[in-house]
Structures are given as C-alpha cells and as structure tokens.
Chains A and B, each alone.
Chain A
Amino acid sequence: AQKITQTQPGMFVQEKEAVTLDCTYDTSDQSYGLFWYKQPSSGEMIFLIYQGSYDEQNATEGRYSLNFQKARKSANLVISASQLGDSAMYFCAMREGLYSSASKIIFGSGTRLSIRP
C-alpha cells in the first residue's frame, strides 16, 4: 500500500494565485513527521516545510503553509501568491518513528506545478 499519495501528477496555476498541492499519508505510528520538498528543473531537492504529528499549529514558512488534518491523514501544501519561480516538482514525504536515529523518509510520486504568467 502507498504510504504517501499525491493524486495530482501536474497542475497549472495563474501567477499570483494561491495553489494547494494535495498529500495523504498512511501510518500506524503515533509520532511521525511530514515534509515538503521542491525540485526545480536543475534537479536539487530543496526542503520547504515540516510538520510534526504532535504539533498543534499548522506549520508556516513564508509563502508556504501546511494544512495538516490529522484525522484525515492529509498534509496539503498551500503556496500563497504564486510566482513564476515556483514552477517545479513538489514532493510530499513522511518520516515514521521520529525518535529512532535510523528512521528513513518515504516520498510520494510528486506533483509538477507550472505557473502561467
């Protein structure tokens, strides 16, 4: 079974609009972390935002916010006021067993976001 599901392979959004990238996850752990990464065409993976399973507040980092709905096991990324430079591949990821030194991160299949001028 997929641990991380991103149902939108590609999205087109007009510049300056807000965009929501969907992510659902599956885990039986009580402590886990959720991540979003951005991968521009150059290939490097850029960490954007993190949400811990016990965090009460939704994480925010500048124009990025994570809409965390624990009961629904969803961790959508919201980008406000999109810019042309936001065009990239976006990956949702999860780390289970937060307090284990050797725990690994599992990635979704990604969403390709394209911003139209």
Chain B
Amino acid sequence: DVKVTQSSRYLVKRTGEKVFLECVQDMDHENMFWYRQDPGLGLRLIYFSYDVKMKEKGDIPEGYSVSREKKERFSLILESASTNQTSMYLCASSPAGGHFETQYFGPGTRLLVL
C-alpha cells in the first residue's frame, strides 16, 4: 500500500513564525503536491513538484514556498505565518505519466495560526 505521511496532524503557531510542514511518501512517486482545504472552497493547489529540486506554482502560491531535496520528501514552508493561513493542509503524491493517475493523500495537518 502507498503510504503518505505528514509530520503533524495538528499544529498551533503564532503570527510571524516560520512554519515547516513535512510530507514523506514511500512509493518512489515522481509527483508530489501540497493543497490547502477550506470549507466551501474544496482543495486548492499551492505548489507541486514533478521531480527532485523541481517545483511549480499552483493556484495559490502566495505566502508559501516549497523544497524538494529528496524524491520522497516534499516540504511546505510558511515564511511568516499569518492568520489567513489557518487551514487544513494536505499532501499528495502520484506516479508520473500514464493514462490513469490518481493521487495518494496523507492524513492532513490542521494548522491554527494565532
């Protein structure tokens, strides 16, 4: 079974703090994704990566950065957390190419910024 793990299930941070959210997958997938989920808005893509050291902006990259130094690990960084970044953050991975390519999700991190 594919396993995607996220470093924390719940996180509480203060405004202005630097926040790291870590995601690790164990299936040698090329693609990794970070989403945030807010009520009524569904999942919105923040950043994705299709290879080590490669990254692409998603729909809402402002206020976030990412790092992918190793294939299995994709980190989301909030340089200076703000209250409007309080949300559920979901990491996902998928293999590259192919006709059928679902994404495998981690359990999510609920971040509260005070």
Contacts and interface: CB of A to CB of B under 8 A. Distances in A.
B96 interface: yes
A102 B42 contact: no
A44 B104 CA distance: 10
B42 A104 contact: no
Contacts of B100: 33, 50, 52
A99 B98 CA distance: 6
Nearest to B9: A43
B114 interface: no
A35 interface: yes
Interface string B11-36: 00000000000000000001101010
Interface string A83-114: 00000000101010011111111111110000
B42 A101 contact: no
A37 to B, nearest CB: 8
Given A47-B102, A93-B43, 19 more contacts: A4-B42, A33-B101, A43-B88, A44-B105, A44-B107, A50-B100, A50-B102, A52-B100, A91-B43, A95-B101, A100-B97, A102-B31, A104-B33, A104-B45, A104-B48, A104-B58, A107-B35, A107-B43, A107-B44
Interface of A: 4, 6, 9, 33, 35, 37, 42-45, 47, 50, 52, 91, 93, 95, 98-110
